[in-house]
Amino acid sequence: MLVHLSWSILLWYCFVVFMAIGIRVDGYGDNDTGPDDYRDLAIALVVLALGVGGTLLLQRWSMRPPSPRARLAEWRQTLTALANGFESRPMASAPLPALTAQPAARPAAYPRFAAPGPGPGGIEFGDLVYRTGVHGKPAVRSYIAVRLPSALPHLYLDSLANGRSAGDLPTSVDRQQRLSLEGDFDRYFAAYAPLDYARDALYALTPDVMAALIDDASHLDVEIIDDLVVFSTPAAADYSQPAAWNRVDTVVDGVAARLAKRAAAYRDDRVPAQYARPARIIGPDGRRLVRGYRSRGLWPVLGRIGWVLTLVLLYAVPAIFAFAGFMSIIDDK
């Protein structure tokens, strides 16, 4: 923000100074540039050069590396990952097909830890960093992803305890796919499954699985998509501290292990010759939840237009008038 402000001030400075000198030349000097005009122009250019130099230093400062304390925390979490059989593998794009992993443009995964090769259960976890909103406000979502032995129908469990209101999904999902489950489960999660696969969802969500979800993952959104189960929450995780690693261990050894057992025994009878296939698949109606249209109203559109107009006012307007004033100064014919 300081870099943007500095560049904008320099442009407006050029606009005011060059237009003032240009008006003096055209209005009072009969379009004849004199020594005083060249002197003032030289002074303005020196001040501009100093301002550009200062802004470049400011930009360099804004891109400085992390502090020693931050680097120490990064080294600590990387060594902890290596000691537990994982490698640090940050990614510049969203690594998961899950709905919660793709909430906005420009996603990245940092930190991201994954087991090398097939790994212990095909596990990865970390923080999804992405930009959202009109001004590109950064947001972070921590996640744990575990590879299942076989695919299951698409299932989304929206946690009601992680700071969002009931049904406020990270993306638009048709609300007709909402499931009502037994016991107190609906007090902790809002469940969504494809309409024709509601009973199949119950196959995966057995009483012991639901109990594990309530006990160990009630603050996490849970999504099963293909042969992947993703646990996530809209908050960053500090992997330089034991609590984040304990959470990964609890989720992987608890509810994820129970879901893996259910996936290993599941067959989609809607797919012909399912038992003869080397890799079991899910029918087309159960692979993905139906996305529902949800209008976001007029305010986001107006906000986007306002942001573009702000950029034009900060940069384009002063740049155009500064150029016009500069041409009025040097054009002494």
Tens-digit pLDDT profile for residues 262-308 = 998 888 888 887 766 667 788 888 888 887 655 455 666 777 788 78
pLDDT at position 118, please?
A: 45
Q: How many CB atoms lie within 10 A of CB 9?
A: 14
pLDDT of 123: 92
Q: What are the average pLDDT values for consecutive 10-residue runs of the chain, which has 333 residues?
A: 86 86 70 76 89 90 75 83 87 72 65 69 84 64 91 90 58 77 86 88 89 93 92 88 91 93 88 72 85 60 79 83 77 55
Confidence (pTM): 0.67
Query: What residue has token string 């209101």?
Result: 165
Q: What is the pLDDT of residue 333?
A: 45
**What would the 3-class secondary structure string for 298-320 be?**
CHHHHHHHHHHHHHHHHHHHHHH
CA distance 212 to 129: 28
What tokens does 3 get?
């870099």
What residue ranges do the domains of the chain occupy? 2-64+313-330, 76-286
* Cis status, amide bond into 111, omega within 30 of 0: yes
